Structure formats: structure tokens, C-alpha cells
Structure 1
Amino acid sequence: MYHSIDHRDDDPHLVTVSPRRFERQLAWLRARGLRGVGMQELLYAHGAGRADGLVGLTFDDGYADFATRAVPVLLRYGFGATVFVVSGRIGEHNAWDSDGPEGRGPRKPLMTAEQIRTVAGAGVEVGSHGRLHVPLPDADDDTLRVELAESKAALEEILDRPVNGFAYPYGRAGDREVEAVRAAGYGYACHIAPETASRHALPRTYVGESDGPLRLRAKMLRHELLRRSRI
């Protein structure tokens, strides 16, 4: 689970990985015979019994640096990925981090509609991260439905193709939110550490700037143990 790939000046929320560190992390995967893919590809491969050697790479929020810094490196390594976009903030900035009551993080530009189409054309899967990046467990039922339905529809209009994946903002989701995502027509959803893993509550592991070879190895082992214990 990545967020922003950029040079790090001020990053209190720890969402930024420097381009140099990011490339080293991808090189570490490739040196171990692993290939990064988008979540839809990973799920298809898993269903067909062909997921060995594949690692799902996800990028939350849809930062502009995903298009300018992450995608060129991914393509150079022959890797795929899924980027989860906040549909109501396209072409704007990360207001949830920089304008909120705890928003002390830097303003980061988000991808434009054209950049979203460009990365999709490069083979990146585009999924939804909600309409305004609100914590869904705190939303009432009507807001929850709007966040899920309108974000899906907006992205499908931009891409002219179905949007199948969702990532819960802040990694927060209970039974109500998981069922709502399923009912909204998403084929899968990414969580962080769900109590029970499922296709609509897939566990992920955070990757940050401090993750070198030893930490990456430890995180992969920990993720596999957690995944097995929660399915």
C-alpha cells in the first residue's frame, strides 16, 4: 500500500516515499522473482491458481506524482498497479490532509482527468477511493451510498470502462461498509487489517520511506501470516 511518490520535505502523515527509495523497493521485488501487478490481475490469477510470484501494488488517493514519478518506474520494471482515486477532488489537492482539523500535511496535487486516462492507457487499473475521502464508518447511510455510487459513476465516465475496485478511506470499514461496497457493484475492496479478510476486505501492508530490504522481508512475512489467520 503506497500513497505518494515524491521528494520528502514535510511528511507528518508518512504518505510519501522518495523516488529513489521507491525504485530500490521495486528492484528488491524483482531480484526475488516477484512481479508487481494491479489488484484485478492478482485476483484473477489467484482464482486460476497462478498467483505465485505476484504482488499487488496499490496507490491510494490518486496523487499527480503517481502519473509523473511512479508510473514511469513501474513501466520500466514491467510492473502493474492499481491507483485508487478520490473522484470529487480530481485535479485539486489532498484537502483531507491539508485543510482538516488535523491537517498539518503538505498540499499535494491530485491527478487530472487527463492524467487518469493516461495512466489507464498505460495499463494501470483505476479504482475508487470514494468521492471526498470521508471516513465511511462515520457517514450516515445516505452519505455512504453517495460516496460509493457517485465515485464509481464519475470514474467510469472518465475512463469509459467499468471500475471494479474500491479502497476504504483511512483503511476504515466495518460490516456495514463492506456490505455497502458489495451492493454498490464493486468486485473487490482493499482494507488494511480487517478482522476477517474477504474479497471486499482485502488486507494490505503499508510501505514507507524507511522500508529497506530487512523491513520489506519482515513485512511480507507478517502480511502472509495475518492474511492466513484472517481468512
Structure 2
Amino acid sequence: MAAPDTTRRSSVPWVAMYHSVTEDRADDPYRVTITPERLDRQLAWLVRRGLRGVSMAELLAAPAPGGLVGLTFDDGYADFVTHALPVLRRHGCTATLFVLPGRLGGDNAWDPLGPRKPLLTADGIRQAAAEGVEIGSHGLTHLDLTRADDLTLKAETADSRSALAALLGTAPAGFCYPYGTIDRRAVDAVRDAGYTYACAIDPGPLTGPYAFPRVHVGQNDTSARLFLKYRLHPLRRRRVEAPR
């Protein structure tokens, strides 16, 4: 997959942030779980409005983001393959899946108050990639990069990219900051590791090709809430300047 051209981006596209997709929502203190039915309704809402959900690579490669919405899924939960992929296929959507090559086949141990959710194995990640999903790095083990020492920061950025390159045969273009926390040092480490773009949540003054803002989309986001989030997005986000 060719690396996206971020030099042409002059405004911030709308990018949705998802996590786990499963029927089991009994305990969800971090609001990371959405049911397949709700995801189906949300993607149907996009289609009705003439929008299409795509991967970050496709979004950033487009001459203009009009009509496209970025779909991103963080953490690499195993339920992405079993529950999210069928819904994406049904609506003709693609997506970017940010995974943790240092926790293959593990679980979300970084969420102490929530239920243990299994993560994709290497085979599961390869399956998602084979079905057209863009694979990006979410770091090696899901650490807050703003608190990492130099050696750990390199492992979470550069080493995670190398690990995914070995797993998939090609290095990922995208990175996603765990917890959405960033500072200039983390942004520089991601750029220096060879990524061509990165996703955050609300990066403020650091907004740019290495800190794209995203909006959380969850179980409570009905059509009305999605409409408000979509319409208010240009008012809440800074412009993205071309990299120098």
C-alpha cells in the first residue's frame, strides 16, 4: 500500500475513533465497546448522507476529503475480525486498525477497571490486512508516550513499526498514540520512526499530519448525535498545515 500524501492536506478531515465491537457490554467503564447493531446503524447513517467510511490511507490519498470519513479502530481487539469486519463489508467501508505487536494474542491489561478483552493474534492481523484493512501501530505495548524514557519511546514507535513490517511484509504508514496523549517529543519520535501520519484525539496546537484529531464514537451515538458531531467538527478542530 502506498504511503498517503499528507502534503496536500489543508483542513482536518472527520475521523471516527472506535475500539471494541461486541454484543457483550455488561461492563464498559471506559466506553470502548459498541455493539455490531449500533455500528451497523452508524455506517448506514453515513451512507444515507452520501458519505463513505474509509481507512486513513485512503482518506489522506484523496485529493479532497469531501464525501469520505476516516474509520479507525484502536487496540486491535479480536472482535474486530469477528464482529466489525462483517459490518464494514456490508456497507462497502474500509478502515484502519491500530494494533499492538508487543501484545499479540494478549489482552487489554492497561484497562484495570474493565473486563479482559482478547487481542488479535498475528494470524488475525494478517487476516484483517488480507481483507483490505489498513494496519497501523498503536505502539508496542500501549504505554503513555509522554511518560516514556528514551529507550522505551524508541521501542514503542520504531520497534513496533519494525515488528509489524516483519509480520505483514510491509511497514505501516500510520501510528496512533495510546490514550491520545502526546507532546512534541512523542510527535518527533513518531516522525523519526518513519511513519507518514499519526492519529491522536484532541492534540490542540500540535494538530498536524503527525497528530490528526479524531472524535470518539460509541454506543450512545445515535443518528442525531452523529449529525451534531459531524457538523460541529470543523468548528472544534484546527487546520492542518502542510509539513515543512
Tell me the TM-score normalised to structure 1 length.
0.94
Q: Using the TM superposition, give the Cα deviation of residue 218 of structure 1 relative to its aligned residue in structure 2, in angstroms.
A: 1.0
Q: Is the 8 A contact 1:204 1:223 kept in 2?
A: no
- Aligned pair partner of 2:113 in 56, 81, 104: 104
Q: Is the 8 A contact 1:85 1:130 kept in 2?
A: yes
Match for residue 191 of structure 1? 200
- Aligned pair partner of 1:38 in 37, 47, 55: 55
Q: Using the TM superposition, give the Cα deviation of residue 222 of structure 1 relative to its aligned residue in structure 2, in angstroms.
A: 2.4
Aligned identity (percent) is 56
Residues in 1 aligned to 2:125 and 2:204: alpha-carbon distance in whole angstroms:
32
Query: For 1:4-51, what per-residue CA distance to the aligned partner results, in whole angstroms no more than 9, with x for missing partners?
Result: 001211101110001111100010111101000000110110xx23x2
Query: For 1:103-133, what per-residue CA distance to the aligned partner results, in whole angstroms no more than 9, with x for missing partners?
Result: 1100000011111111101000000000110
Residues in 2 aligned to 1:230 and 1:36: alpha-carbon distance in whole angstroms:
21
Query: For 1:184-223, what per-residue CA distance to the aligned partner results, in whole angstroms no more than 9, with x for missing partners?
Result: 1000000101113200000000001000011101111222
Residues in 1 aligned to 2:100 and 2:233: alpha-carbon distance in whole angstroms:
26
Q: Which secondary structure state, in structure 1, belongs to the residue aligned with residue 110 of structure 2? A: helix
1:1-231 to 2 correspondence within 5 Å?
1-7=17-23, 8-45=25-62, 48-49=63-64, 51-97=65-111, 103-196=112-205, 197-228=207-238
Tell me the TM-score normalised to structure 2 length.
0.89
Q: Is the 8 A contact 2:72 2:97 kept in 1?
A: yes
Query: Would you tell me which structure has more helix in proportion to its own residues?
Result: 1
Query: For 1:57-98, what per-residue CA distance to the aligned partner results, in whole angstroms no more than 9, with x for missing partners?
Result: 00000000011100111011110000000111111111111x
- Structure 1: stretches of 5+ with no match in the other structure: 98-102
- Which of the pair has the greater relative contact order for Cα pairs under 8 Å at 6+ separation? 2
Q: Which secondary structure state, in structure 2, belongs to the residue aligned with residue 96 of structure 1? A: coil
Q: Using the TM superposition, give the Cα deviation of residue 229 of structure 1 relative to its aligned residue in structure 2, in angstroms.
A: 5.5
Q: Which secondary structure state, in structure 1, belongs to the residue aligned with residue 118 of structure 2? A: coil
Aligned residue type for 1:215: R
- Structure 2: stretches of 5+ with no match in the other structure: 1-16
- Aligned CA RMSD, in angstroms, stands at 1.1
Residues in 2 aligned to 1:182 and 1:125: alpha-carbon distance in whole angstroms:
19
Q: Which secondary structure state, in structure 1, belongs to the residue aligned with residue 44 of structure 2? A: helix
